[in-house]
Structure 1
Amino acid sequence: MNRWPALALLAVTISSSALAQENLELGKMWTFERPPLAYLKDEYGFAPTAEWFDRLRLASIRFGRGCSSSFVSPKGLIMTNHHCVRDGITKVQGGNDWVKDGYYAKSLEDEVRVPDLTVQQFVGREDVTARMNEGIAPADDDATIAKKRAANQAAILERAQRDNPGLQPQVVTLFQGALFELYLYKVYDDIRLVFAPHLQTSHFGGDPDNFCYPRYCLDFAFMRAYADGKPVDTAAHYFRWCTGGVKEGELVFVTGNPGTTKRLLTHAQMEYLRDLWHPMQQELVDNRLRIRKDLVAKDPSLERTLRAEILSIENSQKAYRGYWDGLLDQSLMTQKIAAEKAFRARIDADPALKAKFGDVWDKLAQVAERRRGLEARQRFHTFGGHPVLALAVDVIRAGRAETAEARDAAAKRARDNAAAIGTIAELTRTEFLDHVARAKRWLPANDKWLAAVLDGRTPEQTADAFAGTELLDRQKLDDVLARIGKVWDGPMAVELVIAESIRPLVDAAVKEAQELQRIEETQGARIGQALFAAYGTSVSPDATLTLRFSDGVVKGYAYNGTIAPPMTSFHGLYARHTEFGGKHPFDVAPVWLERKDKIDLTKPMDLVSTNDIIGGNSGSPLVNANLEVVGLVFDGNIEMLPNRYVYRAETPRSVSVHVDGIMEALKKAYDAERLVKELLGQSK
């Protein structure tokens, strides 16, 4: 294991890599096993060594389940975004409101362990493509291929765990299944809160400024990894602090775990997403946000409970809108059509490649057409987000099970779910009613799911019936489970009648979705293989929430008829506060007003660079060529969002907190002397 390629061998791929980047808009989310060395040399005159890549990789860590972070001291100190730790802080703040008011541990003893939080360090890898494809025959259908790959993956993971005790293995799918990598992670599960600023400091400008720039946020937090009750020794792999940061035009790198891009999708697949998936998803997210804000407006005491969820949904709302806008942009789709045309022309020009891959685009177009017919059923032939309906379906499954094993499993699931439901909250009821309303919009009037759920009732009457269910009473649930498989005497509860009717609809939608997914996986892998045949393997794969690095430069951009500066300063923070009269969300935290005369207003706060990022990069370090940390990625501009589908470089930007802004806050707003000394290498 721990196999990293000889870097000199990779330099020969520059011509194919550069050509693929030019024609296919695949972006610059490079893997560590296939770094584009010749491209870096040609573009920047920069020639990193194997040691450089090792240091970059080992200091960069995956944070929790969807963020990035890095080690920034020899004592396990971790830097990430405040918005990546909010949920964790709510678990440990008790009667305090550390999310809103901030927290600073003045000593190691004050550092607070956050439960259910891990960070993962990428320490080894192996190409397992051949092992994942072992036993697969050319004549195998999609279901057989999926089954064989699942068995191969299980065997690979079992062996990896046996051969590498203490490490966590993960099989990573690259290029839609054309390549498979086994990644090994060292996992730290004792992570403690060291510092978090005020929510308003990290989230200044709120939703209006989200995905925008110029920006005036200090979205940072510090945690620490522990092992055996002591801070982890990270002296061999951490990023030094670069006081003064960077200048415009300087080469910088982002390392992190970008979550999802879909740049290898075909034009037909993107059209389906544009026309059906995104409109339905946007409506769902918009309504979820409205429902929560309405609840808080009616009962302000819910604000603290729903705060983190509202902030998260606001972020998703704007992100999905930006992704969809990209697909609605005719220039972007024209760019995709041209790239696909060039790709197909290369395949068709070679008779052998045409015979092997020429039909793959048509096959995926057929799947996209079938998805158009499935999308509404897949979304709405469900339990509507209501736990009682899900419970009722489990009860029906137990009664209709063909084997004792299946019956017992469904009954156990029903009992476990019933015990976990508790009181039916108003939020659950309101979201179910919203589900029905959206279903009536997207499904045909004679749809069987709607007929079963309503059946002469109003949606509110159905929701009332769910709220009054007897299935949450353990004794009555056991009685129903005992009777359900036999001839039922007397009336059946509304939720069970509905469950009986919708169960086959739910199962049919799931079955068809799984079938289409298997076809997409098989044909998507062929797209990846065709890509290699046409352009070589040194291209950037789609994001997979695994460690990547991206090159770029610090650079402003043209927007809104003017120019955005490469950096903002504290001057702008206070000006924005004044211009909005100190009204939320443009109000600075009180301590910043009290100490304004101590703040060096010329210090930079945020900056933009041309690095390729997407959701999952939150918390990524921004480092210079000397591997010194110069910033902390916390966002991208609104122009970056369409890069989910087609990479463009002119105006999309990564937005980072500047290290000097962080240091100014720690020193002058928060008196965090212990932390300052540790970051600057002055602590003992």
Structure 2
Amino acid sequence: MRNLFLGASAACLAAFASSAALADEGMWTYDNFPAAQVKATYGVTLDKAWLDHVQANAVRLSTGCSASVVSAQGLVLTNHHCVSDCAQDLSTATSDHLKTGYVIANREEERTCPGMQAEVLLSIKDVTDTVKSAASGKAGGEFVKARNAAIADIERTNCAGKEAVQTCQVVNLYQDGQYKLYTFRKFSDVRLVFAPELATAFFGGDPDNFNFPRYDLDMSFVRLYENGKPVATPGHLVWNPAPPKDGELTIVAGNPGTTNRLLTADQLAFLRDVSFPMTLTQLAELRGRLIEFGKRGPEQQRVASHELFGIENSYKVYVGQLQALSGPGFLDGKRQADAELKAKVAADPKLAAATGDPWAKIAAVQTERAGLYAPYVLLEGRAGFFSPLYGYAVELVRAAQERAKPNTERLPEYADARLPLLEKEITDAKPVDKDLNQLQIEFWLLKVREVLTADAPQTKLLLGKDSPETIAARLAGSTLADPAVRKALWDGGLPAIQASKDPLIQYVLATDGAARAARKAYEERVTGPSGQAAQKIAAARFAVYGDKVYPDATFSPRLSYGKVAGWTYRGQTVPYATTFKGLWERATGQDPFALAPRWEAARGKLSDDTVFDFVTTNDITGGNSGSPVLNAKGEVIGAAFDGNIHSLGGAFAYDGSINRTVVASTAAATEAFVKVYGQQALVDELLGKPFKKGGR
């Protein structure tokens, strides 16, 4: 399927004709799951007890991934690429866990993942009226400020005194249509238990990414600890090692990252014409620089490999999404859907009077947005281009400045409820390669000069009379790679920041005003007006379609339902599953189709017909990585790790005939853990057998 063009299908365009979800479509919140629709379609009853059990064991990771509790001792299943940062951080020049895997003998060898936090949803509370009333009558930047202040106060009040064990987050749903307070139980001590080799988890590399057939064991495990001991989780999800059955019901419980299905046609056109082309150009160039960096030597190749994986993955996602938006008739279908909703609103005089014409307001905003977008992205959104040291400097400076303000007057990411995780991410020890960090800062400054031009005041502020290369080399002298330095600056607050002689801290203090100004302008002229208009559209959509509408993804807990199923596209039928036999046939001995040594040694030990990976019709997107795939009994039968090439258009619409979720099966994992990795204790734990001292 690697060469099939990703385009908008007739079914996908037809989905625009109504905002009500189609069968198998939707990333549903726990408090609005369409159990009746599942019953009607699949004959399976998923009652409140079933949903509560899943909710209590579905995990959100601060790495931007999903996971699930699968044993009585706090064992958590996720994807390899969700813990690859951790594996990289725990590696050294002589111990490369991405290359050889993280395979240990007992719990004493489980090591803390720096900066990682796990969260489990406890409750959902509607706070829409409180947030909307706080921002009522305000416009532009004042609207954003009032909304953020209300959210910060709600989060602080509801978690007051419980910050050590809980996180409170107000989740924006339906493009400012609803606000819900999500309260999570958090775990700050998350330790790596098992990770296969990158060559195994990502067998087939970029050529196979977002494609199927797949032969990847993209599974890893971490464990939740508290007070130095594994957390007791007796009500965990059950691990089912049986293979999936074609056509059986599947539920995915995860945290889908971002979709744009509720945007207007004008907003989508902006993504197609302005946002995506700029992003793709910059990612492509950065990818080339990382590849060249990796050619300097084995250590450079090691430290750059994870960054390169992320860039290549993002690049492919944006390519697929741009192709979907550019497909024949795609935006025409969205304009038709917008027109249908407008017509239904116009047919109800009372609703029409309350709604006005928010579509026209959003269209007008896009003109403003075009001029503000590049400065906002380069100075704020992607400033530093993933440089960890620059990121530390900005967070330290802004946290010190914002913490000096009342909670409700801060930038939202520095509100009281967000500070514990931010402090952990800043102060936990993580290795930093200074040469790679220098490359990232240099690339960022080159893009600022190229896109904003050398004459722009922001460029002059950032560069002065120096070149990007000169400044990046000077900033390489920063001491922020030392966690003790970061800890001292965090604890010392604004006085420590102002007194610091660190070149990166000084640089951010001198230049961050330009980034704040770009952000303020964007919020006043884009975010604020768009949010107000979106509230009107959301209210109209609720009035017309009721609760049959699901919200766009926001990296918050969701459920999707579907079934195990292959697909047919342009006359080519793709079976629903692959097997170990297919892996041996696909292996060539050359990257990215080279087997890890353990797997070469296991030839003949594994059953050829064991299901390796499979696909389902579940509606997912980025952020769902690591999500448990459950059967009707709520048992884990796999971990979602990818989508097929058609699913990339799922950012804007879902087509159940060809959109597929790609899943690593528990059947393959159970067999491989024992026969390839010698991890019998891990399998025993997954199957609920008694814990033996010295094991897991």
TM-score, normalised via structure 2 length: 0.81
Q: Give per-residue Cα distances to partners, 1:532-572, cap 9 Å, x unaligned.
A: 11111232101111110000011111247522110001111
8 Å CA contact retained: 1:674, 1:683: no
Map of 1:616-655 to 2, 5 A cutoff?
A: 616-655=623-662
Over 3 Å counting, the alpha-carbon distance change for 1:39 and 1:198 in structure 2 is same
Aligned AA for 2:324?
G
Verify: 1:583 aligned to 2:585, yes or no.
no
Counterpart in the other structure of 1:514: 523
Taking the TM superposition and a 5 Å limit, the aligned residue runs for 1:144-293 are 144-162=142-160, 166-236=165-235, 238-293=236-291
Q: Is the 8 A contact 1:255 1:548 kept in 2?
A: yes
Structure number with greater Rg is: 1
Q: Shift of the alpha carbon at 1:156?
A: 1.5
Q: Deviations over 1:478-522 (max 9, x none)?
A: xxxxxxxxxxxxxxxxx99x9999888655433321212112222
Q: Quick one: which amino acid aligns to residue 122 of structure 2? A: V
Check if 1:683 corresponds to 2:693.
Answer: no
Write the distance in 2 (CA, Å) between the matches of 1:631 and 1:218: 10
Residues 363 and 194 from structure 1, CA distance in 2 versus in 1: closer, same or farther, beyond 3 angstroms? same
Shift of 1:133: 2.5
Q: Distance in 1 between matches of 2:391 and 2:195?
A: 39
| 2:641/2:664 contact within 8 Å kept | yes
How big is the shift at 1:181? 0.8
Identity of aligned residues (%): 35
Seen in structure 2, the aligned counterparts of structure 1 residues 121 and 564 have a Cα distance that, compared at 3 Å, is same
- 1:616 partner letter: G
Task: Please identify, of 517-526 and 356-365, the stretch whose mean Cα deviation from structure 2 is larger.
Answer: 517-526
Displacement of 1:192: 2.1
- For 1:339 and 1:660, how far apart are their aligned partners in 2? 43
1:639 deviates by 0.9
Aligned equivalent of 1:7: none
- 1:483 alignment counterpart: none
Query: 1:389-408 residue pairs with structure 2 within 5 A?
Result: none
For residues 441 and 113 of structure 2, the distance between their equivalents in structure 1, rounded to whole angstroms, comes to: 33
Name the counterpart of 2:562.
552
Q: Give, as a single letter, the amino acid of the residue that structure 2 aligns with 1:639.
A: H
**Contact 1:282 1:320 (C-alpha < 8 Å) held by counterparts:** yes
Give the counterpart of 2:671 among 657, 664, 669.
664
Q: Determine the structure 2 residue equivalent to 1:594.
A: 601
Change in Cα spacing, 1:511 to 1:159, as seen in structure 2 (3 Å) is closer
Alignment of structure 1 residues 435-514 onto 2, 5 Å = 435=444, 438-439=447-448, 442-443=451-452, 447-449=456-458, 506=515, 508-514=517-523
Aligned residue number for residue 529 of structure 1? 539
The equivalent of 1:673 in structure 2 is 680
1:564 paired with 2:574, answer yes
Distance 1:381 1:85, change over 3 A: closer
8 Å CA contact 2:294, 2:305 repeated in 1: no
> Whole-Å Cα distance in 2 between the matches of residues 558 and 458 of structure 1?
54
Q: Could you tell me how far apart the structure 1 residues matched to 2:363 and 2:624 are?
A: 31
Q: 1:670 to 1:334 in 2, by over 3 A?
A: same
Please give the residue correspondences for 1:89-104 in structure 2 after superposition, counting only pairs within 5 Å: 89-94=87-92, 95-104=94-103
Deviations 1:200-253 (A, max 9, x none): 1111011111111110000101222223333222112x2212232321111100
User: Matched residue of 1:240: which SS?
Assistant: coil
Residue 28 of structure 2 corresponds to residue 30 of structure 1: yes
Unpaired stretches in structure 2, ≥5 consecutive residues: 1-15, 406-425, 479-484, 486-503, 692-696
Structure 1 residue 650: Cα displacement? 1.9
Q: What is the CA deviation profile of residues 80-108 of structure 1, one whole-angstrom value per residue up to 9, with x for unaligned ones?
A: 11111111123334542222212233333
Q: Is the aligned partner of 1:543 residue 2:553? A: yes
User: What is the rounded CA distance, in whole Å, between the counterparts of 2:330 and 2:388 in structure 1?
Assistant: 41
Quick check: 144-153 or 447-456, which moved more? 447-456
Q: What is the rounded CA distance, in whole Å, between the counterparts of 1:215 and 1:126 in structure 2?
A: 40
**Distance change in 2, residues 1:287/1:598 (3 Å):** same
Deviation at 1:174, TM superposition (A): 0.8
Q: 2:617 is matched with which residue: 602, 610, 620?
A: 610
Partner AA of 2:233 in structure 1: T
C-alpha contact 1:344 1:358 (8 A) present in aligned 2: no
Shift of 1:594: 1.6
CA contact (8 A) 1:558 1:564 kept: yes
Matched with 2:111 is 112
* Residues 629 and 519 of structure 1: CA distance in aligned 2, closer, same or farther (over 3 Å): same
Residue number in structure 2 paired with 1:65: 63
Amino acid at match of 2:521: E
Aligned-residue offset at 1:458: 6.6
Q: What secondary structure does 2:321 align onto?
A: helix
Aligned mates of 1:423, 1:52 — CA distance in 2? 44
Separation (CA, whole Å) in 2 of partners of 1:388 and 1:669: 39
State whether residues 128 and 182 of structure 1, in contact with CA within 8 Å, keep that contact through their aligned partners in structure 2: yes
The alpha-carbon deviation at position 157 of structure 1 amounts to 1.8
Matched to 2:167, the amino acid is Q
Q: SS of the residue aligned with 1:596?
A: coil
Q: What is the aligned partner in structure 2 of residue 133 from structure 1?
A: 132
Distance 2:215 2:118 in 1: 28
The TM-score normalised by the length of structure 1 is 0.83
Q: CA shift at 1:302, angstroms?
A: 0.8
- What is the letter of the counterpart of residue 619 of structure 1? G
The separation in 1 between residues aligned to 2:47 and 2:166, in whole angstroms, is 26
C-alpha distance after superposition, 1:56-75 (max 9, x if no partner): 11121112331111111222
Alpha carbons of 1:591 and 1:52: their partners in 2 closer, same or farther (altered >3 Å)? same
In 2: Cα distance, 1:601 partner to 1:257 partner:
34
Query: Which has the higher mean CA deviation after the structures are superposed, 328-337 or 52-61?
Result: 328-337
Tell whether the 8 Å contact from 1:272 to 1:369 is kept in structure 2 after alignment. Answer: no
Q: CA deviation at 1:177?
A: 1.6
**Whole-angstrom distance in 1 between the partners of 2:476 and 2:685:** 55
- Taking structure 1 as reference, are residues 389 and 57 closer, same or farther at Cα in structure 2, changes over 3 Å only? closer
User: Which amino acid counterpart does residue 168 of structure 2 have in structure 1?
Assistant: P
Whether the 8 Å CA contact 1:103–1:196 is kept in 2: the answer is yes
- Note the C-alpha offset of 1:346: 1.1
Q: Does 1:296 align with 2:294?
A: yes
**Offset, 1:424:** 11
Distance 2:118 2:477 in 1: 43
> In the aligned structure 2, how far is the partner of 1:49 from the partner of 1:388?
48
Residues 26 and 539 of structure 1 are in contact (CA less than 8 Å); yes or no, is this contact kept in structure 2? no
Q: Distance in 1 between matches of 2:636 and 2:391?
A: 48
Contact (CA 8 Å) 2:194, 2:222: kept in 1 or not?
Answer: yes
Instruction: Give the Å deviation of 1:281.
Output: 0.8
Q: Which runs of 5+ in 1 are unaligned?
A: 1-16, 406-416, 475-494
Deviation at 1:53, TM superposition (A): 0.7
Q: CA deviation at 1:18?
A: 12
SS of structure 2 residue aligned to 1:241: coil
Output the CA distance in 1 between the equivalents of 2:450 and 2:299.
Answer: 33
Partner of 2:356: 358
Cα RMSD (Å): 3.9
Amino acid at match of 1:244: A
1:449 to 1:332, Cα distance in 2 relative to 1, 3 A: same
Question: How many residues were matched structurally?
Answer: 628
Pick closer, same or farther for the CA change 1:199–1:428 going to 2, 3 Å.
Answer: closer
Q: What is the deviation of 1:467?
A: 7.5
